[in-house]
Structure 1
Amino acid sequence: MRYFFLSTLLAALAILHQRDVLAEEVASFDCAKASTAVEQTICEDAYSMLMDREIARQFDALQSTHPGIVAEQLNWLKQRNRCQDDRICLWTALADRWVALGRQIEENLGIPKLSGVYDYVVRPEEIAGDLTLAAGPGGDYGFFISTVTLTHGHLCEVMGANASRAEAGEVFWRIPETGRALTLTPGDDGVVTLAIEYDDERSFCGARAYLYGPYRLTADGGN
């Protein structure tokens, strides 16, 4: 499965990298007391902390309705811990779990499934990218968007949590500093379309960052 293609590319190439973190940068545990290699690696990266915290929220919410989830979580933690300080391995393990638990929450809530991994499908010769989307306990969503302009070598990452879902199915997140909205609208055939209200104060990684447009669910959807 292809997770975090762009972040992997970043590790291999010297490209311009900008990140907007639209969520509190804390893990589910006290990073001051991180004692293992995998805990320390989580605490070194904002996205890992975001996923770790959201997975903990999902797990807590699902315990009352999924009797086998404790054993399932313990097995997953063993797999995650094998990653040690391998960040790509860790990102993949966290994202797999985040999406899987998000789908269980969507099933519990009886809402259409959006949790998954999506590929950016605009200007394929110029831009590559992906979107990871996962439901939280109250039907809120966490997201991670990563795109690179292949002509300029400019990588942009935007992540956030607690995005709301409207009755019409759209997922939206309002930026506290400006009140501007980031909106994901589901369509047919596993496609969601991203729209962002840009302004002079916050343009998400600068003028060369392309984030808006359609994203298509990957073949395995993140499973």
Structure 2
Amino acid sequence: MISNPDAVKSKYQFLSLGDSYTIGESVGAADRWSVQLAGMLRTDKVDVADPDIIARTGWTTAELQDAIKAANNTKTYDLVSLLIGVNNQYRGQSTDRYRTEFRDLLQTAIRFAGNRPGRVFVLSIPDWGASPYANGRDKNQIATEIDAFNTIAKDECQKAGVAYVDITPLTRQAAGDNSQFAGDGLHYSGKQMKQWASTALPVAEDLLKK
């Protein structure tokens, strides 16, 4: 877990849960989408701390849940984000398993938010099939599978009363533009993640008014 020691100085506390897309694999800490989002919120005069982060490259839903338990984080947050599932798809795990584990993670996120589903939001899974790394792979199959996982996530968010932010189209529009990707050709650059943060910004601002 990455903690922000200055968080207590801010009015709002923020927790970001996920995998490589949240930890910002292959880019600097300032380029992480949730760190960029916190900066945008502060620009809009919302006194929010940079996020605490529980995320690691390669994590599936089950591995994130295990890591949350191991972190033994007892803090309560004013805003909680969740972005998870690409590794479930990449490893060929079933959509049924994803639904069950994602639903559990949503409830975990809600507990972190002081049992306030209205303070939690989920970002959709990026389509890594549009990345340079995916050259030579079946991009249509990857897109179809990502869509199936995202449909489940959106459905579970609606049931739980959690906001859902669709960033997948942005990741597909990045195809062919190397500036949108990190040096490894698979993960995203700060430029692409800035678009995610901008898309999430009005949602986060609205949630913090609740």
TM-score by length of 1: 0.27
TM-score by length of 2: 0.28
Structure with greater strand percent: 1
Considering only CA atoms, is the larger Rg found in Structure 1 or Structure 2? 1
Q: Greater relative contact order: 1 or 2 (C-alpha under 8 angstroms, separation 6 or more)?
A: 2
Structure with greater helix percent: 2
